[in-house]
Structure 1
Amino acid sequence: MRVAFQGEYGAYSHAAILMHFGEDAGIRTVPCRSFAELFAAVDAGEAEFGMVPVENSLGGAVTGINDLLLNYDFKASAEILYPVRHNLVVVRPPEGSPREAITHVRSHPQALEQCREYLARQSLVPVDWYDTAGAAKSLVEEPAPGTAALSSRIAADTWDLEIVDSDVADGPGNLTRFLLIGHETAERTEDSKTSVLFAVPDQPGGLVKALQVFSDRDINLTNISSFPRRNRRWNYVFFMEFLGHVEDPTVSEAVTQLLVNTAFLKLLGSFPRAPEPDDLSPGRIPGLGK
């Protein structure tokens, strides 16, 4: 089985694949430079699944994903909660030489945002990079004076980098939520979650009317966010998740009514609800021995 992810080996998406399937499952991971490349790889059959981040507990929604979920005909079949541990890493100085002062830090914009207060306290200048593991790799392949990176411990080990400071995110319990996307659907479970995309008619009370179908049936909404439709100015699409499986009678009834109350509706899928990690102590990644 092949699973695509955005970034270099050692990226958090890569680590989430290993945590979900197990390090010894024989999964072939397919690195992609961008989310668009990841979706295209799954669509072309170069990978059966893709591991995509959709939300972080500190930084919020991951930008650029919802448009791709809207434009590709994929299903979400699993949810993964991955404990993120950002580390400040540098190239090891020659033995006996002092480490140079750090002035700039490379990383993915999401990682930089999650460590914004830390960087400000240290007077470090953030530098956007396409990937956390890619930022770590760049310290070796594209070195610059006074430059460090924010990355996982796996990426630091991969590129033999020195960890100057560990677990530097601005808040405790930093979790990124991933969805496993592809053409397969998940089996029904008693503790499921469902994801949908929809737009409402441009009329007063359109969104209220759409959401009322869940309130009327005591269905708990766990996430709702909006993003602009690229082909319609000032028109928005909503990404929403709620508890329950689409095959549950009450949920099925709600989704049917939602279809009536919306301009369009896309069902991304129902999947087992991910458990919260048992141990969020600094440095420990469940399932990876880190």
Structure 2
Amino acid sequence: ALAGQAAADRYHLPQLASNVEDEPNNTTRFVVLGHQEAGPSGRDRTSLIMSAHNQTGALSKLLAPFSDAGVSMTRLESRPARHTLWAYVFFVDLEGHRDDQSVSSALAELGRRAPYLKILGSYPMAAY
């Protein structure tokens, strides 16, 4: 783990590095990557990456399926796209599992609207 000692101890992972922050008051999200899909737990989150057309209202149109399906977004971040100047990709976290009816229908509609969509996966929310 690239994490603090408490996280390494909690999850029984070897600590590869510590104190790597450049700001002492920051918080960092960590993820566990795997090859298998996590089934619904009843308290899940789904992460995805999407792009939007470069036109007025494009992002609003991409987000509408979540609102229409009653799916709550917990994170929306933009990053410059690597392939085109002034183009952006959006990292999104949603409440719910991709197999939940509301999330599934919202993702299907998003897939019809987004020029690029990659669902990174669904996973149980962290327990604090």
> TM-score of the superposition, structure 2-length normalised?
0.86
Verify: 1:274 aligned to 2:126, yes or no.
Answer: yes
Partner of 1:112: 22
**Letter matched to residue 68 of structure 2:** D
Q: Over residues 75-123 of structure 1, what are the superposed CA-to-partner deviations in whole Å (9 max), with x where a residue is unaligned?
A: xxxxxxxxxxx9xxxxxxxxxxxxxxxxxxxx63xx332x3xxxxxxxx
The whole-number CA distance in structure 1 between the counterparts of 2:77 and 2:62 is 14
1:192 maps to which of 32, 38, 44? 44
**Greater percentage in strand:** 1
Give how far 1:231 is off. 1.7
Distance 1:187 1:193 in 2: 11
Paired AA for residue 19 in structure 1? R
Q: Which has the higher contact order (CA 8 A, sep 6+)?
A: 2
Q: Which residue of 2 aligns with 1:238?
A: 90
Q: Give 1:220's match in structure 2, choosing from 57, 61, 72.
A: 72
Task: Select which of 240, 247, 254 maps to 2:99.
Answer: 247
1:159-204 deviation per Cα after TM superposition (whole angstroms, max 9, x unaligned): xxxxxxxxxx3xxxx6432111122221211110000001011222
8 Å Cα contact 2:70-2:102 kept in structure 1:
no
Moved over 6 A (4+): none
Instruction: Find 1:16's aligned residue among 7, 28, 40.
Output: 7
Q: TM-score, normalised by structure 1?
A: 0.40
Q: Which residue of 2 aligns with 1:50?
A: none
Letter in 1 for 2:70: D
Per the alignment, in what secondary structure is the counterpart of residue 176 of structure 1?
Answer: coil
- Quick check: 1:209 aligned with 2:119? no
Q: In the alignment, which residue of structure 2 is the partner of 1:260?
A: 112
List per-residue Cα deviations over 1:16-59 (Å, max 9, x = no partner): 34323x3xxxx6x4848xxxxxxxxxxxxxxxxxxxxxxxxxxx
Q: How do residues 23-102 of structure 1 correspond to structure 2 at under 5 angstroms?
A: 29=14, 31=16
Which residues of structure 1 form unaligned runs of 5+?
33-85, 87-106, 116-168, 277-290
C-alpha change, 1:18 and 1:186, in structure 2 (3 Å) is: farther
Q: Which stretches in structure 2 are left out of the alignment for 5+ residues? A: none
Give the aligned length. 128
Q: What percent of counterpart residues are identical?
A: 34
Residue aligned with 2:74, SS = strand
